[in-house]
Amino acid sequence: MSSTTSNMLKVAVIGGEGIGPEVTAEAQRVLRWFAEKRAAPVTLREAQYGVVPYLASGHVMPPATVEAIEEADAILFGATGGPETKEVPPEARKAASLLKLRQKYDLYANLRPIVAAPALVEAAPLKPSVLEGVDFIILRELTGGIYFGEPRGIETLPDGRRRGFNTEVYTTDKIQRVARTAFELARKRRGKVCSVDKANVLEASVLWREEVIALHKAEFADVELSHMYVDNAAMQIVRAPAQFDVMVTGNIFGDILSDCAAMCAGSLGMLPSASLGPVDRFGKRKALFEPVHGSAPDIAGKGIANPLGSILSVAMMLRLSLDRPQDAALLEKAVDTALSKGARTADIAEKGARILTTSAMGDAVIDALNALA
Ligand code: NAD
């Protein structure tokens, strides 16, 4: 392998299901723009995932996709999920699920930045005064908690009633490593961490809080640490979101709170994310970049989804996997420029605004990149 090739970031591009392929196509165009116009060292390999390959080959995640993911340094993912079809039995879906992927590559640190773009303040559901200065990150632990805890299942009791059960579980190591990521992130930002839990009710949260406090005391006393119960956090996110810098929380709380926080950005379609694995002995870490939203079956196939969450996930890739902060900032500026010139998909449109298709929004970002570069 030549040194040029080995310096290349291998990216697996997987649109997936629902609006996933639609938004990922625009993000991929943007990534190619950086490869062509700014010499970003990436090689792209497209792969299939979901109901389409299942119907063609019986695999939700065909072997070529498994291979593309395995060899990739970074994965650009669209979305998974959709109306249950009889053709895809739950076991086949489960065996190749996004949760399994997160677990396999230990992608524990899920960064979800929430920024209120000034151009969208009028279109957002929250008041402009509430949105002023909103710029925070929800750091969601992604490999533990109730989504993975055992025992789990649905059973029939002797009296005929059925019982569904799951287990919220966290061990010290999983809490410590995500808390460490939060403190390190905060040091590069405004120096504030808010840890969100439900320690008034759940033992797993009591341990969470104890471990966060212990790590803070031992290594990160320079960072300001606060704690919030998850129900209050949901309220504070819509009441006064500018108070947050880095919010660290467990898997299920982060899942729910980030959809809520999307209202600060104007739409769920605006939010990008990065899921990072542990740093290996070469200093590299596997990473998956995807918009926060799901497959949005209600709008899939219509070409109207907002691709900016996916496009901004490319900015996160440029910053975190390619170490190209200037390119990341250029892309974020291009998105802001497109928005301030009035580019709107339906989900972020003010009354009377001209509404763009998914690909026209991609065009608007590329036009802005060409103008800014
Ligand atoms: P969703 O995020 O797919 O959609 C919620 C709402 O937001 C819908 O009204 C949708 O139209 C809208 N929306 C989402 N993304 C948008 C975009 N880019 N532009 C404009 N509007 C957008 O959540 P849901 O409806 O609860 O779930 C649908 C499916 O997605 C389910 O099968 C769920 O399991 C799956 N899901 C997958 C992921 C993922 O792939 N990471 C995340 C969440 C949900």
- Could you tell me how far CA 46 lies from the centroid of its own chain? 20
E-strand ranges in 58-141 read: 74-79, 109-115, 135-141
Reading the block at residue 169, the tokens are 């579980």
**What's the chain's Rg over C-alpha atoms?**
21
Residue nearest atom 17 in ligand 1 by C-alpha distance: 269
DSSP string, 268-280: GGG-EEEEE----
Mean pLDDT of 260-274: 97
Mean pLDDT of 361-373: 98
Domains and CATH numbers, the chain: 1-108+271-373 (3.40.718.10), 125-265 (3.40.718.10)
How much is the pLDDT for 4?
A: 46
Interval 87-142: pLDDT, tens? 788 888 888 899 999 999 999 999 999 999 999 998 899 999 999 999 999 999 99
How much is the pLDDT for 91?
A: 86
How much is the pLDDT for 85?
A: 62
Please identify, by atom number, the ligand 1 atom nearest to the C-alpha of residue 78: 40
Q: Is the pTM of this model over 0.85?
A: yes
How much is the pLDDT for 94?
A: 86
Asked if 147 is an active-site residue, the reply is yes
Mean pLDDT of 216-240: 98
DSSP string, 222-259: TSEEEEEEHHHHHHHHHH-GGG-SEEEE-HHHHHHHHH
How much is the pLDDT for 321?
A: 97
Asked if 231 is an active-site residue, the reply is yes
pLDDT higher than 50, residue 3: no
How much is the pLDDT for 345?
A: 98
Asked if 259 is an active-site residue, the reply is yes
Specify whether the CB–CB gap between 350 and 122 falls below 8 A.
Answer: yes
Interval 158-199: pLDDT, tens? 999 999 999 999 999 999 999 999 999 999 999 999 999 999
The amino acid at residue 179 is A
> Which of 268, 289, 298 has most ligand 1 atoms within 8 Å of its beta carbon, as the pocket-test mutant?
268
Asked if 298 is an active-site residue, the reply is no
- Catalytic-role residue among 259, 336, 363, 367: 259
Ligand 1 binding site (Cβ under 6 Å of any ligand atom): 19, 23, 79-82, 98, 267-269, 290, 293-299, 305-306, 309, 347
Reading the block at residue 94, the tokens are 């489960």
Cis amide bond preceding 151, omega within 30: yes
Interval 42-95: pLDDT, tens? 999 999 999 999 999 999 999 999 999 999 999 999 999 877 666 788 888 888
Residue nearest atom 33 in ligand 1 by C-alpha distance: 81
How much is the pLDDT for 82?
A: 77
> Which of 293, 312, 359 has most ligand 1 atoms within 8 Å of its beta carbon, as the pocket-test mutant?
293
Residue nearest atom 40 in ligand 1 by C-alpha distance: 79
How much is the pLDDT for 292?
A: 97
Asked if 197 is an active-site residue, the reply is no
DSSP state of 155: E
How much is the pLDDT for 2?
A: 41
Cα–Cα distance, 140 to 197 (Å, whole number): 12
Instruction: Give the up-direction half-sphere exposure of residue 208: CA atoms within 13 A in the CB hemisphere.
Output: 28
